[in-house]
Amino acid sequence: MPQNIKIASWNINSVRARIDIVTRFLNEEAPDILCLQETKVVDDTFPGGVFRQMGYNHQVLHGQPMHHGVAIISRIPIREDDRLDWQANGEARHVGVRLDNGIRLENVYVPAGGDVPDREANPKFGQKLDFLERMIDWAGKLSVPTILTGDFNIAPLECDVWSHKQLIDVVSHTQIEVETLDRLQQAHRWVDIGRKFYPAPQRLYTWWSYRARDWQASDRGRRLDHMWVSPELADKATGHRVAEPVRGWMRPSDHAPLITEFAF
């Protein structure tokens, strides 16, 4: 029997502050699994009870006080949770699980990298590149079908930003970040589901700055959030979209959720 699974990924920018729009999203879209990044909460005060009341009884949390944090909540069983320290300093930026069909689901929050794209002047930028290097090493050793999703904090293609010319020296779209992300993609021959369904140069953004007075009118977006799959899973994806209207809900995150449907 084929199994249809809908997986969503969303940098929520504080799950407690935005619990109302998270529950609205779950009610309207009903994903089987929701991967959250930047939950900004320790595990003990994660609003798990709210999600259990909605049928999301399986929860794997990796939180810390005030910053970062990732979580996977699910209506279907998830097992064998992993927490890899790609940041090499204990920050809560990854959690991974196994589905009952044997597929791995890895949820990652790559560091933003600060404002200056220079390792010497800005240690945060170096940490971001080193984080990706550890992911490259991990990806090269993968031997099981895997879904990798989350906030990668890199818009790799020229059409993944509102202006390639104006953003080429801006962190998230610099040449070294793009090249490093490409090496990560090649390390496991990951298939970028976003661009599978919306081939370049189609417009496809997932993030709009809070600084814009009217984010829709200016539409200065970037595609920072991604859903990648092992090559053997590419044909299992039957649909993908960015839930862009969510960015306009009350007290929104600056990211919109990704939703991918699979038929396994």
pLDDT, tens digit, 9 for 90 and up, residues 11-41: 999 999 999 999 999 999 999 999 999 999 9
- Cα–Cα dist 21/81, whole Å: 26
- Cα–Cα dist 202/52, whole Å: 38
- Cα–Cα dist 263/86, whole Å: 30
pLDDT in tens, the chain (264 residues): 779 999 999 999 999 999 999 999 999 999 999 999 999 999 999 999 999 999 999 999 999 998 999 999 999 999 988 999 999 999 999 999 999 999 999 999 999 999 999 999 999 999 999 999 999 999 999 999 999 999 999 999 999 999 999 999 999 999 999 999 999 999 999 999 999 999 999 999 999 999 988 999 999 999 999 999 999 999 999 999 999 999 999 999 999 999 999 999
pLDDT, tens digit, 9 for 90 and up, residues 167-197: 999 999 999 999 999 999 999 999 999 999 9
- The pLDDT score that the predictor gives to residue 244 is 97
- The pLDDT score that the predictor gives to residue 11 is 98
Closest to 183 (Cα-Cα) out of 213, 148, 139, 214: 139
| All structural domains of the chain | 4-263 (3.60.10.10)
Contact by Cβ (8 Å): 6, 260: yes
- The pLDDT score that the predictor gives to residue 212 is 87
- The pLDDT score that the predictor gives to residue 213 is 84
Could you count the other beta carbons within 10 Å of the beta carbon of residue 20?
Answer: 11
- Cα–Cα dist 54/42, whole Å: 21
DSSP label at residue 241:
E
Residues of the chain above pLDDT 70, percent: 100
